[in-house]
Amino acid sequence: MSPKKQGGAAAAPGLSKHRVVVEAVRLADREGVEGLSMRRLAGMLGAGAMSLYHYVANKDELLDAMIDIVFAEIELPPTDSDWQNAMRRESESARQVLARHPWAIGLMESRTSPGPANLRHREAVTACLRRAGFSVAMATHANWLLNSYVYGYALQATSLPFDTADELADMAEDVYLPLLPSDEFPYLNESATELFSAGYDPAEEFTFGLDLVLAALEPLRAGYRVTNPPFPKTV
């Protein structure tokens, strides 16, 4: 049983659960979730490690609360817009939030005890899709597809060796083009030369892909029929 449940950990002066969780998010933003430990967090807060268990029972509860903060930062799909624009705004907001908190990408769907912001976000997304005419099954498919696209893009973006289009342009001539001699890689050289000269910004790929996903979902919004049930039962 955790110290919190045993009642053996006393509250530390000046601390609150909100402060503990916010500082944990800041630590994860700087060093990744692998750098997060109760002892390390306590040191940053100037408190004893055991005192943190007054606010969170264990690290899993801390991660649940941290993910809830991340969900709270994502804009809910507005109710005064058509479903595509609403989900476009929600998806773009999620991309920006995950860029600030890259450690959260692999944890967004893993929590078994979701917090209130997490549940409010999921309810708002489902409501947006259902009110637009998606069946329960198709709203679920759409939600999975959109999440997979947003999380996948966010994960790929964290591995890029540059942060902005200007940084990419600076690397183009000295790093990339020398690796692509035209006699050996004619198409890659052509693409790189043309894109770099045009001021290519990889961030624009997110909007391009998201628009394709939303357009593909539109015909499935109403009157969707399949021969087999969308969720076949296993025997």
Cβ-based burial of 143 (10 A; exposed 0-12, middle 13-18, buried ≥19): middle
Domain span at residue 19 reads 3-57
CA-to-CA distance for 141 and 220, rounded, in angstroms? Answer: 10
Q: Find tokens 């989900």 and name the residue.
A: 87
Is position 171 within any domain? no
> What pTM did the predictor assign?
0.84
Is position 131 within any domain? no
In tens digits, what is the pLDDT along the chain, a chain of 235 residues? 444 444 445 555 678 999 999 999 999 999 999 989 999 999 999 888 898 998 999 999 999 999 999 999 999 999 999 999 999 999 999 999 999 999 999 999 999 999 999 999 999 999 999 999 999 999 999 999 999 999 999 999 988 877 777 777 778 777 888 899 999 999 999 988 888 888 888 888 999 999 999 999 999 987 654 434 455 554 4
What six digits make up the tokens of 218? 């539109």
Is position 140 within any domain? no
Q: Select from 112, 108, 105 the least CA-distant residue to 125.
A: 108
CA-to-CA distance for 25 and 53, rounded, in angstroms? Answer: 17
Q: Find tokens 């004893």 and name the residue.
A: 48
**What's the domain count of the chain?**
1
Is position 101 within any domain? no
Neighbours of 51 (CB within 10 A): 19
Is position 20 within any domain? yes
Residues in the chain: 235
Query: Domain of 51: which CATH number?
Result: 1.10.10.60
Query: What DSSP designation does 176 have?
Result: I
Is position 185 within any domain? no
